[in-house]
Structure 1
Amino acid sequence: MAKSKSEETPLMQQHKAIKAKYPDAVLLFRVGDFYETFNEDAVIASRVLGIVLTKRANGSAAFIDLAGFPHHSLDTYLHKLVKAGHRVAICDQLEDPKTVKGIVKRGVTEMVTPGVAVNDKLLENSNNNFLAAVHFGADATGAAFLDISTGEYFVAQGSLEYIDKLLQSFRPAEVIFAKQQQKHFRQTFGSRFYTYTLEEWIFTNTYAREILHKHFETHSLKGFGVEDMTEAVIAAGATMHYLKDTEHPNLQHISNMQRIDQDDFLWMDRFTIRNLELLQSTVEQGKTLLGTLDHTLTPMGARLLKRWIVFPLRDIVQINERLDAVEDLIREADRSISIQQHLKSVGDLERVVSKIPLKKINPREVMQLARALQQVCEIQRLLNDTANPLLRHLQEQLDPCDSILQRILAEVSDNPPVLANKGGVIREGVSKELDDLRAIASSGKEYLLRIQQQESEATGIPSLKVAFNNVFGYYLEVTNTHKNKVPANWIRKQTLANAERYITPELKEYEEKITGAEEKILALEMQLYDALLATLQDFIQPVQRNAQALARLDCLLCFAHNAVQFKYRRPQVTEAYHIDIKDGRHPVIEQGLPPGESYVANDILLHQDEQQVIILTGPNMSGKSALLRQTALITLMAHMGSFVPAAAAEIGLTDKIFTRVGASDNLSGGESTFMVEMNETASIINNITPRSLIILDEIGRGTSTYDGISIAWSIVEYLHDMTPHRPKTLFATHYHELNELENTHNRVKNFHITNKEVGNKIIFLRKLAQGGSRHSFGIHVAKIAGMPPQLINRANEILSQLESQHIEAPMQQIAAPTHKVQLSIFDAHSDTFQSIRDKLTSVDINRLTPVEALLKLSEIKDLLQ
């Protein structure tokens, strides 16, 4: 039987009304010193948080589920709920219960979702926490990425593939889109992200521009360069709406919006970002390029480095600006070390300043802000004499904000508490009224001690003591041994088993004076602290500029450190169309080698006119994949403005890096290994340009041998002959038949990874050499992997039989490239078909009469029978 409203308690009626506004969130309902959850929210909280689920009466109607925790544990439990993928609405008491008769007014003060988290426990120092919005338009797709914890705001517009790459690069904590586009989103981007849908009317051009104009206080969006990017503007408007909708009205730190243009950066699709293991390893505990390069000293530097890796530059001027700065920092080593020492003390300036408008900055963080500004002053001084243009620009961006720095140092105590309402935040000398009140509180307590001493002497009660509790306030406690000595004018308040408690008029007078002073002290401290925060609002943007400049400087210093530490060299980035690397090394693998073992370096030359396609063969585990990846990574690092792991490198400006590496099923999408492989390869073929670098590893392995060889062969021919772009290509393969392509295609060159056979063992020399390889040594690899000896012996027997029967197809028989590539149907069969082949190849078709043709056909039929 349903409960009527009148049967519910007033508290539950209030809860029901608030919960109705946030039906899809877990509502944390403040009741006294606890946050309570009810009904289905209580079941979720109990399961996720591991707290007890109980029941309580709800009026006369029924019992309801209940689970709660102390309000001071909010950070701990909030973190767990959000990490478990739940939206959480925090409902606080908006009135002081002491001053209210009846039910206390309550309301949601904050909505926390994965994409709008600002709590330190929900954030990772080295990672941004982006909220993304996606809007599918008729001709283009728009996207916006906003990190409320730092104020960073990016917008972009382009193809679905481009937006997919951005989602992979930014890795947002939450993605929002229109409800009507849910199916389209799932089909396009799958289920890789935490998502939330909004009403269709929010994703309109008019509404988006209205909310953005209002926030930025502008009449147009031309100043951000996005006026004509309708789909991107709509996505941006949706993010701002979502922040308002989740109770985040104070967003003064979001003061700029940056446009991301695809043409500004070296393009890598999401497959390449994954295959090169830039941000995440494909194996558990594996190291990434980010993990290898990241020696930044500030959280904002670590976050920026991640963006530099996935958005390498394409402008030679900007690339060389970074390279020049890194070279300067290496040359001026003492100055660089001094700057690094100061950077270590900066902390997360970007996130600290973003807490000011959100009203979440605590006194200790205010002092951290002051210390960071002191470091800004020192770093600015150290860069005063730099001649490098980029470092000079960063030096000019730095602003120590001296006036607010001096005010913080003058007003806030050296070691303030975390919570402003605990007192002890404001220094002495800031407010005479505050100092007087503190004197009263301090002297009052001293006076109480004097009372205790005086009364003890006057009454002859040596064990007399003055104490305090919340019920009686200050009181005198006398043990039963001495209670006969108590004066008649003392007022008894409480009798205990072994003592009695009394009060006196004089004691109560001082109690009121002390208690009143302490309350006034807290109120006045909060007033002075709030005034300081109000002034800090005016410094948000200059402090943000400091954070951005320090982040860039941190990344450049990181590059300089890596260059010295790992013996990286400056690459020469040119307008040419070739890549020439001398003694190149894999930056990640070389850092993981055992002590004393050095990485075997190799040269690589890819040239559009001379050596456009390298067919790379060699044994399993010999290092083919490492060589492919290191070529791509060295090219990428050069475009980041970093020195590279090579003795020398001339890198022609590259606009796109494509990779097709490894094999994996997309089971959730219903795609086989081969289908995934073909999708990724098609994406490459359809998007190449003359400045592209293509890395192909084991194309065609997901299907039968002959299908695989056919596809691999035709891909090489297409890249060589059938596209005018001549993209630089590295193609590693176990299909040794592809070595034949060098004989008929002048820009295809064969290389192999060398090895040496010593007895029954294979030693991988990992050195690149010209010419193809004819052996994969797969059985040897199986042996060292621990396969049983019987299995290995049988595999060798089968291999010998297959080789003796010439099972492998003679690829020399493939037609010239100008004709369709077609493998003979006889290639996989026995000696009978070899005889048929011999008869057919011996026939001169131009001189064959119809009768002779019929006779030959009869002979072939007899052979088959």
Structure 2
Amino acid sequence: MTAAVPEDLRMTPMLKQYAQWKKRYPDCLLFFRMGDFYEMFFEDARVASSVLDITLTARDPGKKIPMAGVPFHSVDSYLERLVASGHKVAICEQVSEPDGRTLVDRQVVRVVTPGTFLPSDSALEGRLACVDVLPDGVAVALLNFATGRLLAGTLGHAPARSELAGFAPSEVLCPSGQEKAAAALAGDRGGCVVTPRSRDDFRLPGAARRICREWGVASLEGFGLSDLDPAAGCAAALLAFVEETQFRSARGAVEIRPLLEKTSMLIDPAAAWNLEVVDPPGSSLLDTLNRCRTAMGRRKMRDWLLHPLIDVDSIAQRQDKVQAMLGSPEARSRLQASLSACGDADRALSRIAFGSAGPRDLGVVRDTLEAAPRLERHLGEMGLEGLLVMPEGLRALGEVLSSALVEEPPRNLHGGGVIRGGFDPTMDGLRDVKNNEKEWLDGYLDRMRGLTGIRNMKIGFNKVFGYYLEVSKSFLKDVPESFTRKQTLVSAERFITEELELFEKRMLTAEGEAMEREEELFRGLCSKVAERSPELRALAETVAAVDVLASFAQAVALFDYQRPEVDYGELFEIRGGRHPMVENSPASGGVFTPNDVLLDGAENRIAIVTGPNMAGKSTYLRMAALLAIMAQAGSFIPVESARMGIVERVFSRIGARDEIARGRSTFMVEMIETADILNNVNSRSLVILDEVGRGTSTYDGMSIAWAVLEYLQGQPDRRPKVLFATHFHELTALSERLPGVKNLSMAVKESGDGIVFLYKVIPAPADRSYGIEVARLAGIPERVLQRSMEILEEFEKRGDRVPPVPPAVVPEGQLALFGEGARELIEELAEVEPDGMTPIQALKFLYFLKDKAAEVLKS
């Protein structure tokens, strides 16, 4: 909330008007329209100046009122930076024409928040979520402003977290008092704003009745909701917020759909992040597969990868379409060229529905409608008739837009040049007046010269006097009495005539009427589009799906992917599998060693993978999970062949990400994620666990890892398929004690110079960890490596937890590593569990060691 306007300040009428609107929107920055700029004053100006890096000036230097402004024609770029910083902005527009005598009327017409901002020329999407945390679940409503689709449902806590993580909201609404819980559900994502709302907005059955009344329905059953479902309360609260910020009904702009559990594979947030399904930008699975030609297609692919199908027939239908596109590469190329002509129709339709559209949004709808018949024809060439069918009503609308709009509509309406000539006779007539201006003036000047005999007479225009005739002083005696003197110059006089004044009025009137008529035609076209919104939304969704399928087909052609066999069986078998991102990374040089995966419901349910660091264990685990996600999304995959039983849920425990920055130790993060897996797995889960137990002491970690494996193997009613990478070689003994557990390892070739990683998985446990060899590859000094080998031999010989270690042979003049003065320091260090520390504790201990080391050196 920014500071209020000082009440004791004497202000002009304009600033009083500003202060009145600011008082009504104290939690917003107020963009106050003044001509071609949006101005801000007082504390708002200081905030905007800091965030936007724009000049801070003063409205009245005597009173020193801070002032800053941004041009209205490029306001979206400034709004984007402000909402990214967590600010809300109230847009206060001029709603009457300035007449030079009275104060212009102004009104707030829209409130821009992080979750409702939808610019025309940006990848930014308004993603607004609403949650209500219940004792046994979470009511959730999700609205993507770019698509206008609102999903609402009541989910379990884990599915709710997954949905919110995948949706990646910019803003989360919640009942007042639930702010911390809402932030935790959203994953404490940076840049996600939590906005509390009154509990009354959520209260049933009143909340459900508001939706019914607004949508003109008797109940919410048609939306897949019940009138007493808490999700209906979330949907109602979200829609109330939308109407409050957009100053219009959401009906016609928003489509309500149910958000259901168990309709797609559930990828928990840790797995989505660890597997890099859609993040980070540039290196994710989404970026690897994305060959989409439209923003709608990329958005749809993101959704498919985060929500893979669990219905075998639906997966096969997608695969069949990809197969058909593969069989006709030339038709597919023509299809993708036509897709490139489509813009982001979803976004344009939303901006039209919410009243924030510009001419380019209409242009995008027109371009999509023009491309749709070509898409329909190209799909038919590939044997995919019926996948996209253009309704006759949309064909007619496309013809209207094509005849109405210029080829490249401008960004803003107010500059004119939107409507094509020949579309509207009234518009053409008004333009003719302006277009004939020079011709009329030239003819009029010739007549006046002939009438007066003043051959050097000139005609001109300025903003003060309008049109005028200029006569040099040597010819003033020839000026007729019908000329009226308007201005005297040093060497000439300027005159006006009644005919010239009439022409000027006609010109100014025509220009104003032309602008009004163009705006009227534009609004009429927007209304025609809005009337067809459901059909247009359906068309945009189909175009997006076609774009994704074509992108999948192109990936097959580029990367030699194969069609996996997906069924409801227990077998999960991959032959010659490759990691989709790693094989295409610059570091791989286009070379990747394929590997097999074999998991089932009997003898091969759990695979323990051992081997040295850097040998490829984590890549192998990630590959298996990524290929399952790709296959169930409908994509072909990088394998020689594959047969996969449906996976309903993917779990991953790899890495601590950025949790340490939040004060959580590595080990705590590891245990939280492991607990979530153990509490939520079922027999159709795929679990990949990497180095469980490494964040604590060796024996504690090994014991935990052992018990986790026993638990995953021993649950009779929920036995998941598990890939478990570990450096605890003792765990390989479990294959002899527990049915369904097998050992795999990463092959290593030893040579006189060290080791070579083969990146090949073999069906046997690793016999050693090769830690010292890996240290050599990393560049550890040879003296340290030799000493490590001596200590290792002593450990292996005695097998003690803390065996006595013989002193190293130290060159003369060098301080011994285990000298008497240093032993106390080493013992202090040996007793510490660093992964159980918070960052602050670790820093304090580091300073303690530094001081202790200084004492040792002095002694």
**What is the TM-score with the length of structure 1 in the denominator?**
0.86
Query: Residue in 2 aligned with 1:205?
Result: 204
Query: Residue in 1 aligned with 2:14?
Result: 11
Aligned-residue offset at 1:669? 5.2
Query: Residue in 2 aligned with 1:439?
Result: 432
Q: In structure 2, what residue type is equivalent to 1:266? A: M
After superposition, residues 275-294 of structure 1 pair within 5 angstroms as: 275-281=274-280, 287-294=283-290
1:239 is paired with a residue of what secondary structure?
A: helix
Specify which of 754, 770, 777 is matched with residue 747 of structure 2: 754
Specify which of 21, 38, 41 is matched with residue 44 of structure 2: 41
Residues of 2 paired with 1:255 and 1:511: CA distance? 48
User: Residues 468 and 351 of structure 1: is their aligned pair in 2 closer, same or farther, counting only changes over 3 Å?
Assistant: same
Aligned-residue offset at 1:311? 0.5
Query: Residue in 2 aligned with 1:25?
Result: 28
Query: Residue in 2 aligned with 1:401?
Result: 394
User: Residues 502 and 619 of structure 1: is their aligned pair in 2 closer, same or farther, counting only changes over 3 Å?
Assistant: same
Specify which of 634, 638, 651 is matched with residue 631 of structure 2: 638
Asked if 1:622 corresponds to 2:615, the answer is: yes
Q: Which stretch has the larger CA shift, 64-73 or 441-450?
A: 64-73
After superposition, residues 430-829 of structure 1 pair within 5 angstroms as: 430-455=423-448, 464-477=457-470, 490-496=483-489, 500-593=493-586, 597-664=590-657, 666-667=659-660, 670-807=663-800
Aligned-residue offset at 1:514? 2.4
1:780 is paired with a residue of what secondary structure?
A: helix
Aligned-residue offset at 1:373? 0.7
Query: Residue in 1 aligned with 2:816?
Result: none
2:759 is paired with a residue of what secondary structure?
A: strand
Q: In structure 1, what residue type is equivalent to 2:201? A: I
Instruction: List per-residue Cα deviations over 1:20-41 (Å, max 9, x = no partner).
Output: 2211111112234432222221
Contact kept? 1:176, 1:198, Cα under 8 Å: yes
2:686 is paired with a residue of what secondary structure?
A: strand
Query: Residue in 2 aligned with 1:69?
Result: 70
Residues of 2 paired with 1:116 and 1:488: CA distance? 65
Query: Residue in 1 aligned with 2:103?
Result: 103
Q: Which stretch has the larger CA shift, 470-479 or 676-685?
A: 470-479
User: Residues 400 and 615 of structure 1: is their aligned pair in 2 closer, same or farther, counting only changes over 3 Å?
Assistant: farther
Asked if 1:358 corresponds to 2:347, the answer is: no
Q: In structure 1, what residue type is equivalent to 2:352? A: I
User: Residues 406 and 71 of structure 1: is their aligned pair in 2 closer, same or farther, counting only changes over 3 Å?
Assistant: closer
Query: Residue in 2 aligned with 1:822?
Result: none
Instruction: List per-residue Cα deviations over 1:418-466 (Å, max 9, x = no partner).
Output: 4333334334444434333333333343020123345557767666532
Q: In structure 2, what residue type is equivalent to 1:156? A: G
Residues of 1 paired with 2:793 and 2:568: CA distance? 51
Instruction: List per-residue Cα deviations over 1:445-494 (Å, max 9, x = no partner).
Output: 30201233455577676665322221111123456787787667644433
Aligned-residue offset at 1:640? 0.8
Aligned-residue offset at 1:68? 2.6
User: Residues 394 and 497 of structure 1: is their aligned pair in 2 closer, same or farther, counting only changes over 3 Å?
Assistant: farther
Instruction: List per-residue Cα deviations over 1:590-622 (Å, max 9, x = no partner).
Output: 011458542100111112212111111111111
Q: Which stretch has the larger CA shift, 795-804 or 538-547?
A: 795-804
Residues of 2 paired with 1:619 and 1:667: CA distance? 25
Residues of 2 paired with 1:45 and 1:739: CA distance? 61
Residues of 2 paired with 1:630 and 1:399: CA distance? 46
Query: Residue in 2 aligned with 1:319?
Result: 315
Aligned-residue offset at 1:761? 2.8
Identity %: 36
Asked if 1:425 corresponds to 2:418, the answer is: yes
Residues of 2 paired with 1:448 and 1:218: CA distance? 62
Query: Residue in 2 aligned with 1:239?
Result: 238
Contact kept? 1:665, 1:676, Cα under 8 Å: no
User: Residues 462 and 81 of structure 1: is their aligned pair in 2 closer, same or farther, counting only changes over 3 Å?
Assistant: farther
Query: Residue in 1 aligned with 2:146?
Result: 149
Query: Residue in 2 aligned with 1:131?
Result: 128
Aligned-residue offset at 1:163? 1.1
Asked if 1:120 corresponds to 2:123, the answer is: no
Residues of 1 paired with 2:8 and 2:372: CA distance? 60
Contact kept? 2:115, 2:170, Cα under 8 Å: yes
Residues of 2 paired with 1:12 and 1:428: CA distance? 43
Query: Residue in 2 aligned with 1:841?
Result: none
User: Residues 501 and 783 of structure 1: is their aligned pair in 2 closer, same or farther, counting only changes over 3 Å?
Assistant: farther
Q: In structure 1, what residue type is equivalent to 2:240? A: H
Specify which of 116, 135, 157 is matched with residue 160 of structure 1: 157
Contact kept? 1:211, 1:240, Cα under 8 Å: no
Residues of 1 paired with 2:274 and 2:354: CA distance? 39
Residues of 2 paired with 1:604 and 1:191: CA distance? 35
Contact kept? 1:144, 1:154, Cα under 8 Å: yes
Contact kept? 1:374, 1:400, Cα under 8 Å: no
Q: In structure 1, what residue type is equivalent to 2:162? A: K
Q: Which stretch has the larger CA shift, 676-685 or 351-360?
A: 351-360
RMSD: 2.8
Q: In structure 2, what residue type is equivalent to 1:373? A: L
Contact kept? 1:570, 1:644, Cα under 8 Å: yes
Residues of 2 paired with 1:163 and 1:19: CA distance? 37
Asked if 1:174 corresponds to 2:171, the answer is: yes
User: Residues 455 and 798 of structure 1: is their aligned pair in 2 closer, same or farther, counting only changes over 3 Å?
Assistant: farther
Aligned-residue offset at 1:303? 0.3
Instruction: List per-residue Cα deviations over 1:362-412 (Å, max 9, x = no partner).
Output: 33432332221121112223334765xxx4553247667122122222333
1:438 is paired with a residue of what secondary structure?
A: helix
After superposition, residues 371-410 of structure 1 pair within 5 angstroms as: 371-384=367-380, 391-396=384-389, 401-410=394-403
User: Residues 162 and 334 of structure 1: is their aligned pair in 2 closer, same or farther, counting only changes over 3 Å?
Assistant: same
Aligned-residue offset at 1:570? 0.6
1:475 is paired with a residue of what secondary structure?
A: strand
Query: Residue in 2 aligned with 1:265?
Result: 264
Contact kept? 1:153, 1:254, Cα under 8 Å: no
Instruction: List per-residue Cα deviations over 1:617-639 (Å, max 9, x = no partner).
Output: 11111111111110111111111
Q: In structure 1, what residue type is equivalent to 2:232? A: V
Q: Which stretch has the larger CA shift, 145-154 or 446-455?
A: 446-455
2:414 is paired with a residue of what secondary structure?
A: helix
Residues of 2 paired with 1:415 and 1:706: CA distance? 70
Q: In structure 2, what residue type is equivalent to 1:675? A: M
Residues of 1 paired with 2:22 and 2:319: CA distance? 56
Contact kept? 2:253, 2:354, Cα under 8 Å: no
2:436 is paired with a residue of what secondary structure?
A: helix
Contact kept? 1:489, 1:504, Cα under 8 Å: yes
Q: Which stretch has the larger CA shift, 345-354 or 72-81?
A: 72-81
Q: Which stretch has the larger CA shift, 414-423 or 649-658?
A: 414-423
Contact kept? 2:243, 2:250, Cα under 8 Å: no
Instruction: List per-residue Cα deviations over 1:177-220 (Å, max 9, x = no partner).
Output: 11122243345556323111111211112332122113322111
Contact kept? 1:128, 1:303, Cα under 8 Å: no
**What is the TM-score with the length of structure 2 in the denominator?**
0.87
Query: Residue in 1 aligned with 2:854?
Result: none
User: Residues 808 and 693 of structure 1: is their aligned pair in 2 closer, same or farther, counting only changes over 3 Å?
Assistant: farther
Contact kept? 1:665, 1:672, Cα under 8 Å: no
Instruction: List per-residue Cα deviations over 1:653-707 (Å, max 9, x = no partner).
Output: 1111111112357346543211111111111111121111111100100000001
1:577 is paired with a residue of what secondary structure?
A: coil
Contact kept? 1:575, 1:653, Cα under 8 Å: yes
Aligned-residue offset at 1:499? 5.4
User: Residues 174 and 5 of structure 1: is their aligned pair in 2 closer, same or farther, counting only changes over 3 Å?
Assistant: same
Q: In structure 2, what residue type is equivalent to 1:238? A: A
User: Residues 228 and 210 of structure 1: is their aligned pair in 2 closer, same or farther, counting only changes over 3 Å?
Assistant: closer
Q: Which stretch has the larger CA shift, 25-34 or 112-121?
A: 25-34
Query: Residue in 1 aligned with 2:836?
Result: none
Instruction: List per-residue Cα deviations over 1:289-323 (Å, max 9, x = no partner).
Output: 11111111111110011011111111111111111
User: Residues 801 and 267 of structure 1: is their aligned pair in 2 closer, same or farther, counting only changes over 3 Å?
Assistant: same
Asked if 1:81 corresponds to 2:82, the answer is: yes
